[in-house]
Amino acid sequence: MAAPDLRPAGSARRGLAARLPAFPWDALSAAKQRAAAHPEGIVDLSVGTPVDPTPASVRAALTAAADSPGYPTTIGTAALRTELVDFARRHRAAPAGLDVDGVLPTVGSKELVAHLPFQLGIGPGEAVAFPHVAYPTYDMGARFVGAESMPLDMAALAAHGDAALPDPAAAQRIRLLWLNSPSNPTGEVLEAAQLASIVAWARERGIIVASDECYALLPWTVDEVPSILDPRVNGGALEGLLCVYSLSKQSNLAGYRAAFVAGDPALVGELVAIRKQAGMMLPGPIQAAMTAALRDDEAAERQREVYRARREMLEPALRAAGGEVHGSQAGLYLWTTFGTDAMADVERLADSGVLVAPGMFYGVSGGTFVRVALTATDERIAAAARRLARL
């Protein structure tokens, strides 16, 4: 099922907007006001926006490139493309065959997720499949082009193939299949064998597979987060595959909108052709900053340890408050249930000044869960832990 419609009763929209549900975060305004009224202030663990400093190396590169009077290129500078290839090989196990023709910087990852169906020429009568508990923008991308949204249980698809589909003809309609590992919101990780099974199934049916791996460098209870670029998954061939990655989380670059796609050079070439026509270019100074961020593994490692410490403080506090943490093997969220309705838990936690996101934002299967982000300062995470202990 698609994401629930959270529009206020009586609201009127026309054109494309009429086909869309309300922006989910607008439904949290009342709970946010309640949390903000807490005497010790709000602890906002809902959105997941980074709060820590952008690495010094990145800021220095941005400053050095500030004099940038000319237009940037859609494909990116030679230095950026080289670093994208190197990063994909170091951190996403990309094969030696990946070169600069198979990488492309994007204006953040959300715009690519939202517009990929359009850029691939998908339309009415065709379908976009994605995890049944998922980031809402996969669904939005399908809606934007009038395609069918098809939530699927990806573990079931890996294990049972066509039996996991909603109807016998579903595979014939799917043009694009989104994977998301680690998952937002659940933090679940697909193993290499599961990814390989899904890729093989999709290739047999001519389905493009795009894998959103934005949280991959934040593993907690798993030894690795395999990539669709890994030869164990794709057999050493990138045809029909795209890996989407963002520096927003690992390098605190959400404000820079610095992301990229890597994979099948033929598909990347199609995206380049469309994006040139649309003027979708990453600003020149941001390209320089992104190049520096891709090189700075030490900064990303330090940030990971910051999140590890916050997780180790927050997870036991949630359990002490009666919550059960599911999945959450990697990434920036603790997918938690208190065994009741998600919105009731949002309100109850808001009374303690802690704001979280209700699971139904991510699909109807999330209706008894809340997503709790690790993206608050150490002081605010500690405050949340104390308040949870008093529940």
CA–CA separation, 294 and 376 (whole Å):
24
From the list 23, 16, 17, 19, the residue with the least C-alpha distance to 8 is 23
| DSSP category for residue 87 | H
Per-residue pLDDT, 18: 76
H-helix or E-strand spanning residue 105:
strand 103-107
Domains of the chain in sequence order: 15-53+299-389 (3.90.1150.10), 56-295 (3.40.640.10)
DSSP 212-240: E-TTTT-BSSSS----TTSHHHHTT--TT
CA–CA separation, 48 and 56 (whole Å):
22
Per-residue pLDDT, 366: 86
What is the residue-level pLDDT of the chain in tens, covering all 391 positions? 444 555 455 555 567 777 777 777 778 899 999 999 999 999 999 988 999 999 999 999 999 999 999 999 999 999 999 999 999 999 999 999 999 999 999 999 999 999 999 999 999 999 999 999 999 999 999 999 999 999 999 999 999 999 999 999 999 999 999 999 999 999 999 999 999 999 999 999 999 999 999 999 999 999 999 999 999 999 999 999 999 999 999 999 999 999 999 999 999 999 999 999 999 999 999 999 999 999 999 999 999 999 999 999 999 999 999 999 999 999 999 999 998 899 999 999 999 999 999 999 998 888 899 999 999 999 999 999 999 988 8
CA 149 to chain centroid: 17
H-helix or E-strand spanning residue 131:
strand 127-131
CA–CA separation, 323 and 363 (whole Å):
20
- How many residues does the structure list for the chain? 391
Beta strands 333-337 and 369-373, pairing class: antiparallel
Show the tokens assigned to 123: 């339309």
The answer to whether 54 touches 265, Cβ cutoff 8 Å, is no
Per-residue pLDDT, 1: 46
CA–CA separation, 336 and 316 (whole Å):
12
Per-residue pLDDT, 22: 74
From the list 335, 220, 216, 259, the residue with the least C-alpha distance to 107 is 259
Per-residue pLDDT, 14: 65
Residues 6+ apart with CB under 8 A from 130: 138, 139, 149, 150, 151, 152, 177, 178, 180
pTM for this prediction: 0.92
The answer to whether 291 touches 58, Cβ cutoff 8 Å, is no
CA–CA separation, 243 and 103 (whole Å):
9
